[in-house]
Amino acid sequence: MISAAPGTIRSDARPPIEAEAAPASGAAGVTISRVTALPRPWIRPRLAAGEFPGHAPDDPGVRRFWTAIVGPGAVADLLRLTAAARTGRQIRRPVHLPVLLREGLAHRNGADILVFAEIPPLAAVHRRRLRPALRVEYLAQYPELAAAAS
């Protein structure tokens, strides 16, 4: 067994651990917080003006097809943003906001985040990224939206 001086980090342990014992319960101590542990800022998303064709947020096709494009976390963030925009609530800035902005599911207007009341249909570039079987299923399920998004 290798001993270490108090306050040193044992590099031979996997993962490296502090050699000191944990403080007694109730003892005052200094909590060091990492920068990555800071809470995300609050935002108040708004609905984009205008009528756009698309899927209702509770449509199963939103989860099925958009999840294949941007992933389940981004779809969950999009649905959270849409719900908050409809009710006027504030939410923490979504982790997947850059993905939503890149794919055109959300837009930035200065400090505001704009989302659509209905989730946009898959554009041709998105449909090309789907598996062939999923692409055929999308075109069969939403022929009018697929034509409008082309």
Q: What is the DSSP letter of 133?
A: H
Residues contacting 111, CB < 8 A, separation 6+: none
pLDDT at 37: 72
Host H or E run for residue 109: strand 106-109
Q: How many CA atoms lie within 13 A of 12 on its CB side?
A: 4
Residues contacting 141, CB < 8 A, separation 6+: 61
The whole model's pTM is what?
0.71
Mean pLDDT by 10 residues, the chain (150 residues): 54 60 59 70 90 85 93 95 94 94 92 91 91 93 69
What gap in Å lies between CA 84 and CA 45, rounded to an integer? 7
